[in-house]
Chain A
Amino acid sequence: MLGYIAVSFSFGVMAVGECGITPLVSIIISLTNLTSSGQQAGVKMISEAASLLEIGLTVLLINLRYSLMSLSLSQKIDQDTPTGLRLLFGFGISDEVYAVAVTEREKINAKYMFGLILLPFLGWVFGTALGAYASKVITDDKLLSALGIALYAMFIAIIIPDARRSIKITFVILVSISISCFLYYVPYVNTIGLGFKIIISTVISSLLATFLFPISDDIEDIDEKGKEDIENE
């Protein structure tokens, strides 16, 4: 819960302070999206007036990971759960919700999912509002600038523990960063939009890793990791 408020707070600060989006719009984005990395990339592209196609493709790619989680939960959920209810709570499948739900020992049902999603959802919207208005009130340029690193630091904290665990994950991360830097710094190439830079880096590095190191069991490892994280909380 605290984690959700912290992440959404820094999203609010970034959206309003750095990208010049109004507080109300940033809150609406959090209400309708409920995801950190997709929203972050989205508001950055909006502030750069990227094309709608670029925004759609980038955010879709960033959120592709959810299809894996959603798929995994489809094996876990009570078979009798009506499709209508599934369509509703599907909205709330975030990284953290997934990690908790997938490590339940027994089959889960719709009531369980709604209960699990409620607090993170409220925390997410509340934190965004807090961050959005805080960035209007805070006049200290240094503090605003320093807060800008929060979201990136959290992204680092999400991927590095897994990279430490798996050389394959380290590989895909390093390749992706190399391509991303190449697209950022090399003249002519660097004129393409931020979204396309992310898409190209992701697709090439993931495809490369897929063919060099196809995995079949590591998906179980994610579940193990989720379990560890919960025990650490």
Chain B
Amino acid sequence: MSKELYIFLAILIMAIVTYIPRAIPISFMKHEIKNKYVKSFLFYVPYAVIAALIFPSILYVTDNMIIASIGAFIALVLSFFRQKLIVVALVSVVSVYGLLWLFQLLGW
């Protein structure tokens, strides 16, 4: 398979599996899901997915794992105190950027 075809198919598949869960229930479901286990599973999945997406990948966003860990910790603390998404993101980016310079200047 050529690289172009691979990317094209990957995007097509991504679009389809993104569209189906969004559009099908609202288009065809006329009553509510009653089963509490199905409801519970659907309730927990987003948190589990996002958690697995973050860790441990976040530790490898820079070559220096210590800096990445500090960045992750700052994001955790800010989120705990319910700061806005954009604030959490900006402060983390600026901190990591500052630390990268600091570590270089210190020769670590």
Taking Cβ atoms with an 8 Å cutoff, the residues of A that contact B are 2-3, 6-7, 10, 21, 25, 28-29, 32-35, 37-42, 45-46, 49, 52, 55-56, 59-71, 73-75, 77, 83, 86-87, 90-93, 142-143, 145-164, 168-169, 172-177, 179-181, 184-185, 197-198, 201-202, 205-207, 209-211, 213-216, 218-219, 222, 232
Contact = CB atoms under 8 A, between A and B. Distances in A.
A169 B72 contact: no
Q: Which 3 A-B pairs have the closest CB atoms?
A: A90-B23, A160-B79, A146-B97
A74 to B, nearest CB: 4
Contact of B17 (A59, A92, A161, A164): A59
Contacts of B39: 215-216, 219
A74 B45 contact: no
Interface of B: 6-7, 9-11, 13-30, 32-33, 36-37, 39-58, 61-63, 68, 71-72, 75-76, 78-80, 82-86, 88-90, 92-94, 96-97, 100-101, 104
A232 to B, nearest CB: 8
Given A67-B21, A90-B19, A90-B26, A218 B88 contact: no
Which has the most chain A C-beta neighbours within 10 Å: B48, B76, B90?
A: B48
Dominant secondary structure at the A interface: helix
Which has the most chain A C-beta neighbours within 10 Å: B72, B86, B94?
A: B86
